[in-house]
Amino acid sequence: MTDEQLIARIDEVKQSHPDNLMARHFDADYYLGLDAPLQARLRKIIASGVQNENSSMGAYAMAPDDYAQFAPLLDAMIRDFHGIEAGTPIAQPHDWDTSAVTSDLGAIDAKLKQVSMRVRVARNVASFPLPGAMSKEQRVVFEDVAAAAFAKLAENPDFGGQYLSITPGSPYEIDAAEYQRRVAAHQMFKDMSGDKYLNVAGISGDWPYGRGMYVSEAEDFLVWVGEEDHLRIMSMQTGGDLNALFARLHDGLQILGDLLPAFAMSDKYGAIASCPTNLGAGMRCSLHMKLPHLTKSGTDLTRVTTEAKSRGLAVRGAGGEHSDAGSDGLVDVSPSARLGVSEMQIMRRLYDGAAALWALETV
């Protein structure tokens, strides 16, 4: 594609898909003002959004310093997605002290004492390229580095467990049936090679090399290796105590942070992630709630989506990104903002949002 073709294509996407944030904020003059090596880097970053016109974001970073290097474009997209107004600096506070937040979902309604709760953070190691730009060898070397850290983590009684790899020939390799079982149990990530966004970005490259998952014995602490970010560290449990859920993640993250090479972190962008949507706290926390009334038995998410959105939450089916709701109205509810809000604030939004949706469900 020549520069003219690229610019014309993005213009076309901007007209047909105004929600594609890359197309919305792409500025041809900025692109043309870059030198050739920078233009080549930027083309890779925006390739997924150029090719997949229905992208909502439309870009993935390839290296931690891409955010600073291409700030004139990426900051505009980041502000738009994360709701940070022009004039307000982009900055990420961190605060894990959730002790002041009411955290017992059972206090909203005894029926919420046993919901499926999950919180994860994205982390990338500063010394490797981001997944879209990793070679097959780097993916496997990174997995080895992670596996060595997991061997140490496994000695901790609270986090003891095992590493499971899907890299062919890995000493930790599991078979296809075990992999499928873990995917069905919502523990392991799906085959990424079918994801058109990740494919164009190179993030799903060399599948399944360098991919795996650490799982604690209690199956309440998991770490994905080699998905959209180097690491996705998560805490999950059925219950209603958000503080316990967050505390486990925080403790596990701290231990892993000490065992691994330094994470890519920035005062401005927080935890560096492949996708600009995940910058900041890098955190996604969610509840699986049954909302049959608000979702018309899972057939229509329009109302619940609107109600959730006005409270800073996003709703999707319980089967993951782009999935539908169950016929019992089971949906996944999670705070949308990640950048500019602390971990504690995200938890508070989830709690308050869940209480508000529950009130609408049970009127």
> Which residue ranges make up the site for ligand ARG (CB under 6 A)?
48-49, 55-58, 197, 228, 275, 277, 321
Concatenate the DSSP letters of all residues of 70-115 into one string: THHHHHHHHHHHHT--TTSPP--------TTS--BGGGT-GGGGGE
d(CA 269, CA 328): 39
Q: Name the minimum Å distance from CB 278 to ligand ARG.
A: 6
Q: Name the minimum Å distance from CB 232 to ligand ARG.
A: 10
What is the chain's length? 363
Nearer to ligand ARG, 147 or 234 (CB): 234
Nearer to ligand ARG, 274 or 342 (CB): 274
Q: Give yes or no for a contact between 125 and 230, defined as CB atoms under 8 angstroms apart.
A: yes
Residue 319's nearest CA partner among 147, 186, 165, 229 is 186
Tokens of 146: 């992670």
Q: Name the minimum Å distance from CB 14 to ligand ARG.
A: 14
Nearer to ligand ARG, 27 or 321 (CB): 321
Nearer to ligand ARG, 55 or 170 (CB): 55
Q: Name the minimum Å distance from CB 221 to ligand ARG.
A: 22
Q: Which residues contact 5 (CB under 8 A, 6 or more apart)?
A: none
Nearer to ligand ARG, 228 or 361 (CB): 228
Q: Name the minimum Å distance from CB 194 to ligand ARG.
A: 14
Q: Name the minimum Å distance from CB 60 to ligand ARG.
A: 7
Q: Name the minimum Å distance from CB 203 to ligand ARG.
A: 9
> Amino acid identity of 5?
Q
Task: State which H helix or E strand residue 214 sits in.
Answer: strand 212-216
Nearer to ligand ARG, 200 or 341 (CB): 200
Nearer to ligand ARG, 57 or 347 (CB): 57
**3 state SS of 173:** strand
> Amino acid identity of 313?
L
Residue 239's nearest CA partner among 114, 71, 90, 103 is 114
Nearer to ligand ARG, 149 or 331 (CB): 331
Residue 343's nearest CA partner among 242, 259, 268 is 242
Complete edge-to-edge strand list for the sheet that includes strand 221-225: 161-165, 212-216, 221-225, 231-239, 115-123, 283-290, 330-335, 313-317
Q: Name the minimum Å distance from CB 208 to ligand ARG.
A: 18
